[in-house]
Amino acid sequence: MRRPTGPRSQSGSGWPLAAIVALLLSRAVARPIARVSEASRALAAGEHPEPLRPSGPREVAALATSFDHLSVELARTQQAEQAFLLSVSHELKTPLTAIRGHAEALQDGVLEPAGAGTVIEREARRLERLVGDLLDLARLRRRSFSIRSEQVDLGEVAVAAFERHEAVARSFGVGLHAMAEPDALATGDSDRVLQALSNLVENALRSTPAGGTVRILAAPGRLEVVDDGPGIAEDDLPRAFDRFYLYDKLRAERRVGTGLGLAIVRELLEAMGGSADARSEVGVGSTFTIHLPLPEGMVAPAEGARPAFVLISRT
């Protein structure tokens, strides 16, 4: 009897082809997924894998694209957290240094107990606020400090900055003066304004040689820190407030801090609706200026009609 041929034999001859197609498809899916899996393990180990090249079926390519986006966002978050932790460590250092300096001056009999106690108590309160901020940030997973909006007497802020840095200025042999115009008011957060001003005063004291002078000037909507130190090159001024820029440029030739102070100044002022700028001349000195909004309804006097600064504190 004759064996049937036709559809069955044709179907049988198609099995090898179907198997080959299935194998190729499985590899087209498996290889991209294996790359995503390998990159995921690297990411979990704290590494930063190279971007994946989306390939394979549409769904698999979308998976690779999503992973690349996740990797970029995670790296950005880690950088923001690292920058914030550096900023926090820098800001905790300032009041601690002031407390230690006044405590040592009190022990040496250089300062009166009442005056030193006032500064120590005030700096302790600011430390409490910083620690409170850290706790709030940890609870809310935010990466910025709280900012209040209130009327600020910039003359009082200038005096607080003077008292905070008086002991350090004396140890450096640098004269520190605080001066103010009448009605030196602004809108902002008094603690954050002092925080920004302190960073500028710290930098000025470090860069000014012994026998030099640092002046803190308060005017309506404006604070200035003027020193007669070595100055900053004109080409460096546009980037003076960038993280670590002046630190990298100047650390071989003068005392420098952490490289974060000026960047923190800019961030704080922008959060309060203000700004900061710098003017300098090599061999003459530098002026760093804080600009803040004026209280509602207040108009600053014209430059030619400004009243004279009045000395309010000096070493």
> Cα separation of 261 and 196, whole Å?
8
**DSSP 3-state assignment of 277?**
strand
H/E run at residue 8: helix 7-44
Q: Give the C-alpha separation, 140 to 41, whole Å.
A: 28
Say how far apart CA 238 and CA 65 lie, in whole Å.
38
**Domain at 149-314: CATH code:** 3.30.565.10
Helix (H, G, I), strand (E, B) or coil at 197: helix
Answer yes or no: are the C-beta atoms of 200 and 288 closer than 8 Å: yes
Helix (H, G, I), strand (E, B) or coil at 182: coil
Integer Cα distance of 205 and 162 in angstroms: 11
DSSP string, 208-270: SPTT-EEEEEEETTEEEEEE-SS---GGGGGGTTSTTHHHHHHTTTS----S-HHHHHHHHHH
pLDDT at 228: 94
Distance of CA 217 to the CA centre of its chain: 24
Q: Can you give the residue ranges of every domain in the chain? A: 149-314
Say what the pLDDT of residue 213 is. Answer: 97
Q: Can you give the pLDDT at residue 66?
A: 80
What's the pLDDT at 180? 96
Q: Within its chain, how far is the Cα of 258 from the centroid?
A: 11
Strands 175-180 and 213-219: parallel
Instruction: Give every CB contact of residue 239 below 8 A, 6+ residues apart in sequence.
Output: 245, 246
Looking at residue 133, its pLDDT comes to: 61
CB 157 within 8 A of CB 292: no
Amino acid at 211: G
End-to-end CA distance of the chain: 122
> Has this prediction a pTM greater than 0.75?
no
Dist. CA 269–CA 295, nearest whole Å? 16
Handedness of CA 55, 56, 62, 63 (dihedral sign): negative
Query: pLDDT value at position 226?
Result: 98
Dist. CA 269–CA 40, nearest whole Å:
40
Here the tokens at position 2 are: 């004759």
What span, in angstroms and rounded, lies between the C-alpha atoms of 192 and 265? 9
Query: Residue 136's pLDDT is what?
Result: 53
Rounded Cα distance, 99 and 145, in Å: 22
Using DSSP's 3-state secondary structure scheme, residue 3 falls into: coil
Mean pLDDT by 10 residues, the chain (315 residues): 49 60 60 74 74 71 77 72 66 80 82 81 78 59 74 96 91 95 95 92 92 97 96 90 76 64 86 95 95 92 82 87
Q: How far apart, in Å, are the Cα atoms of 138 and each of 71, 131, 132, 256, 279?
A: 23, 11, 10, 30, 38
pLDDT for position 19? 60
